[in-house]
Amino acid sequence: MKKRLFTIVLWSVILISLSLVMGFVAVEHRNQTCEKILVEIDYSDGCFFVEPEDVKVMIRNDGIELLGKPISAIDFQMLESLIATNPHIENVQVYSLIAGDLKIKISQRTPLLRVMPLSMGGFYLDENGGQMKLSGKYTARVTLANGYIEHDMMNDLFLLATFVNKNKFWRSQVQQIYVDSAQHILLIPRVGRHKIILGEVKNLEDKFANLLAFYKDGLNKIGWNQYRTIDLSYEGQIVCTK
């Protein structure tokens, strides 16, 4: 009985002590001033649209001075909203560290396709299908789509680029998507002088499987520069012209 009572008292003392310590730490943290701004940007997708200094310049240009300011007086949500106005940023988190440093953690939007229409300014389509401004200081290494592109083609271009990008071979082989004046989608390959007439953006699995089989069983044997066009628009077959 005494041993049990002792255990209860001991744990009570420990919990009270921890509460006091945590409360003291919380008060001290609120009273701390911002000593340093740490900007961490995820570059794992190989894109460099945003640099740490860009973020700091955005904050300064908005008239916000963080260094020397009490942590408790910093509006984290307002900072996140401000930084998120950069068109190349996907997500931003702002929080403070125990040492008094302010941490800004950023992930960038991932471009899927660079679209350069004749009738309008260029932009990227990102991996979610959203339009994304071009950057004046960085160009992403993604497939180019150009030509007579209209607004109502964006979904087709997104579906096509998504399919191509998921396959290592096609991502390397398809270097350009061109839309001609009749709104036909042509693929310009990296290897071979031919153009690929896609037809409707439907049954992509079958169309590209047929094309791959033709590459392996046909062009590998007779040469990659034998045909001027390879037409995939006919269901279940490939039509070539010299």
What confidence tens digit (pLDDT) does each residue in 228-241 have?
A: 999 999 988 899 99
Average pLDDT, the chain: 89
Percent of the chain with pLDDT over 90: 76
pTM recorded for the entire structure: 0.80
Asked if the model's pLDDT at residue 8 lies above 90, the reply is no
Instruction: Quote the pLDDT of residue 119.
Output: 87
> Whole-angstrom Cα distance, residue 37 to residue 186?
48
Q: Using the predicted structure, report yes or no on whether residue 17 has a pLDDT greater than 60.
A: no
SS3 content of the chain, % helix, strand, coil (to 5): 40, 25, 35
Q: What is the pLDDT of residue 30?
A: 56
Q: Which residues contact 166 (CB under 8 A, 6 or more apart)?
A: none
Contacts of 150 (CB under 8 A, 6+ apart): 117, 119, 183
Cβ neighbour number for residue 201 with a 10 Å cutoff:
16
Higher pLDDT, 135 or 23: 135
Paired tokens of 154: 């964006």
- CA atoms of 86 and 100, how far apart (whole Å): 26
At residue 24, the pLDDT reads 39
Q: Indicate the pLDDT class of residue 187, thresholds 50, 70 and 90.
A: very high
CA distances from 80 to 33, 34, 143, 216 (A): 19, 16, 31, 51
Q: 171 φ, ψ to 5°?
A: -60, -35
Amino acid 13: pLDDT: 45
What is the arrangement of strands in the sheet containing 174-179, beginning at the earlier edge strand?
131-132, 123-126, 111-117, 143-147, 174-179, 185-189, 195-197, 229-231, 239-241
Which pLDDT does position 88 carry in this prediction? 97
> Which of 54-58, 68-72, 75-79, 222-226 shows the lowest mean pLDDT across its residues?
222-226
More confident residue, 41 or 10: 41
Long-range CB pairs of 69-75 (<8 Å, 24+ gap) are 69/33, 69/34, 70/30, 70/31, 70/32, 70/33, 70/34, 71/29, 71/30, 71/31, 71/32, 71/33, 71/34, 71/96, 71/100, 71/102, 72/30, 72/31, 74/34, 74/102
Distances (CA, A) of 17 to 12, 21, 23, 119: 8, 6, 10, 70
Tell whether the model's pLDDT for residue 20 goes beyond 50: no
Confidence of residue 25 (pLDDT cuts 50, 70, 90): very low
Residue with token string 């068109």: 87
Which strands sit side by side in the sheet containing 101-108, from one edge to the other?
Answer: 36-42, 101-108, 89-96
In the chain the domains, ranked by start, together with CATH numbers, are: 31-108 (3.10.20.310), 111-241 (3.40.50.11690)
Q: What is the pLDDT of residue 209?
A: 95
Q: Out of 95-99, 106-110, 180-184, 210-214, pick the least confident.
A: 95-99
